[in-house]
Chains A and B, each alone.
Chain A
């Protein structure tokens, strides 16, 4: 069957089998491999794309069902070479490790911020609760979305301060460096 839809602002038309899943259409027909998949049962949210601005699990939408709709994938997040604040936020706040769930997480974050520009942490956690990240433990994803909320026009284009997070507290609340020991190690003879 023939389907047409808008993907990242471009009109696309293809001849497909009715059973083609939207995630396969995006990845294999359109070659946009930034959208990933991680399960078969719509539980993991790795495949999330925006359909008419709303996050959907593209493994559980037929490409045929998406015909006539507006699809946005991770490749459509940056505009004119400028990263979306969400993308910047994920880099600033270490919101990703292996990067596999990241496109879906970022798209859900974008949809959330479009609807609610200043979410609290609980609202962010709720918004991403249909998506699994096996690496980050989510706290840095929450911080990343907050970074984007604080920088709606992106880095350097607004005056909002970066959300500073210490990577941890040392003994007495300060750095616990042991300079002497480290200096000795620096001097250790190299045995290669």
Chain B
């Protein structure tokens, strides 16, 4: 069995303590939460930190709470908790859609939202979810707290704005009325990384036209929400023609690479197909909240 190279281990007791430890041990230290991305990499010796700073005792980062028109989710919130939260599913059904297909139930017991976002794997689902929901990342460091939009947070594949001496502490989602969201992923098998996936969030006006919308893609070579989707969708009545137009836009905008999961033409097709599906579902859900 594969075994990580030697390292030293320290368990942080508070966020302050974690930041101190990060400052003390410097660039060769890594934070570990669920560990389901980091430890396999370490076992294969693709990652060799000298220090592991375990933040699993930072219970202050394990929360889901509604704060006015924001939903605040602590970075140490486990995937299982997010999946099972009826409040989250009621406000942002896309989260439950995505959580159902993230890894597998046992991995979801350990993996955290913060870990997923900071790993920033291009095939990682919650990044797309947070993108289309317009989430904010709350990051703490020696200089205090800063709040970044998702476009500021994501720097590219496996790269985020979280500095070496910083910690992602919280993700905040804005709650908007008459909104719906959805996520759909194609995978070769349950638990596999996405061949491709799409997420959408839609807000409708009182008369049922699109007020605002965002579409994001996972594993299809698009780091940020689809530029122009909102522009195309806004002010229009959601119908099949509109979804098809958005699908075409997504297919044009994406930039997938061929791999064992599929060739470029298939992935481009998925961008189109899945964009249509998630928009259709997100709009239906938004309409439902409107009726409700």
* A interface residues, Cβ below 8 angstroms from B: 1, 17-19, 21, 23-24, 37, 40-43, 45, 48, 54-57, 59-62, 64-65, 67, 108, 126-127, 129-131
Can you report 9 residue pairs joining A to B where beta carbons are below 8 Å apart? A19-B5, A42-B39, A54-B80, A56-B110, A59-B1, A61-B39, A67-B11, A130-B103, A130-B191
Q: Which of A17, A54, A65, A130 is close to B104, meaning CB atoms less than 8 Å apart?
A: A130
Pairwise interchain contact B40-A56, C-beta atoms closer than 8 A:
no
Q: Would you give the shortest CB distance from B7 to chain A, in whole angstroms?
A: 6
Q: Which of A37, A40, A61, A129 is close to B35, meaning CB atoms less than 8 Å apart?
A: A61
Q: Would you give the shortest CB distance from B13 to chain A, in whole angstroms?
A: 12
Q: Would you give the shortest CB distance from B183 to chain A, in whole angstroms?
A: 17
| Given A19-B3, A62-B9, A130-B191, A41:B54 Cβ within 8 A | no
Q: Which of A17, A64, A127, A130 is close to B54, meaning CB atoms less than 8 Å apart?
A: A64
Pairwise interchain contact A108-B9, C-beta atoms closer than 8 A:
no
Pairwise interchain contact A19-B35, C-beta atoms closer than 8 A:
no
Pairwise interchain contact B32-A17, C-beta atoms closer than 8 A:
no
| Given A19-B7, A65-B56, A130-B103, A40:B110 Cβ within 8 A | no
| B8 contacts the other chain (CB 8 A) | yes
Contacts of A41 in B (CB 8 A): 40, 43-44
**In B75-124, which residues have CB < 8 Å from any A CB?**
80, 103-107, 109-110
Q: Mark B199-232, 1 if CB is under 8 A from A, else 0.
A: 0000000000000000000000000000000000
Q: Which of A60, A62, A67, A129 is close to B191, meaning CB atoms less than 8 Å apart?
A: A129
**Chain A residue at minimal CB-CB distance from B41:** A41
Q: Would you give the shortest CB distance from A63 to chain B, in whole angstroms?
A: 10
User: At the interface, is chain B mostly helix, strand, loop or mixed?
Assistant: loop
Pairwise interchain contact A65-B106, C-beta atoms closer than 8 A:
no
**Chain B residue at minimal CB-CB distance from A112:** B105
Contacts of B43 in A (CB 8 A): 40-41
Pairwise interchain contact A126-B40, C-beta atoms closer than 8 A:
no
**In B176-195, which residues have CB < 8 Å from any A CB?**
190-191
Pairwise interchain contact B2-A40, C-beta atoms closer than 8 A:
yes
**Chain B residue at minimal CB-CB distance from A17:** B6
Name, among B7, B52, B105, the residue most crowded by chain A CB atoms within 10 Å (CB to CB). B105
Q: When chains A and B are docked, how far (Å) is the Cα of A130 from the Cα of B56?
A: 22
Q: When chains A and B are docked, how far (Å) is the Cα of A126 from the Cα of B52?
A: 32
Pairwise interchain contact A60-B9, C-beta atoms closer than 8 A:
no
Q: When chains A and B are docked, how far (Å) is the Cα of A108 from the Cα of B80?
A: 14
Contacts of A40 in B (CB 8 A): 1-2, 40, 43-44
| Given A60-B39, A65-B56, A42:B3 Cβ within 8 A | no
Q: When chains A and B are docked, how far (Å) is the Cα of A42 from the Cα of B40?
A: 7
Pairwise interchain contact B105-A56, C-beta atoms closer than 8 A:
no
Q: When chains A and B are docked, how far (Å) is the Cα of A24 from the Cα of B2?
A: 11
Q: Mark B1-29, 1 if CB is under 8 A from A, else 0.
A: 11111111101000000000000000000
| Given A40-B44, A62-B9, A64-B9, A48:B106 Cβ within 8 A | yes
Contacts of B9 in A (CB 8 A): 1, 18-19, 62, 64
Q: Which of A56, A126, A129 is close to B109, meaning CB atoms less than 8 Å apart?
A: A56
| B36 contacts the other chain (CB 8 A) | yes
Q: Which of A24, A45, A60, A67 is close to B36, meaning CB atoms less than 8 Å apart?
A: A60
Contacts of B54 in A (CB 8 A): 62, 64-65
**Chain A residue at minimal CB-CB distance from B8:** A18
**Chain B residue at minimal CB-CB distance from A48:** B106
Q: When chains A and B are docked, how far (Å) is the Cα of A51 from the Cα of B40?
A: 19
Pairwise interchain contact A60-B105, C-beta atoms closer than 8 A:
no
Pairwise interchain contact B32-A37, C-beta atoms closer than 8 A:
no
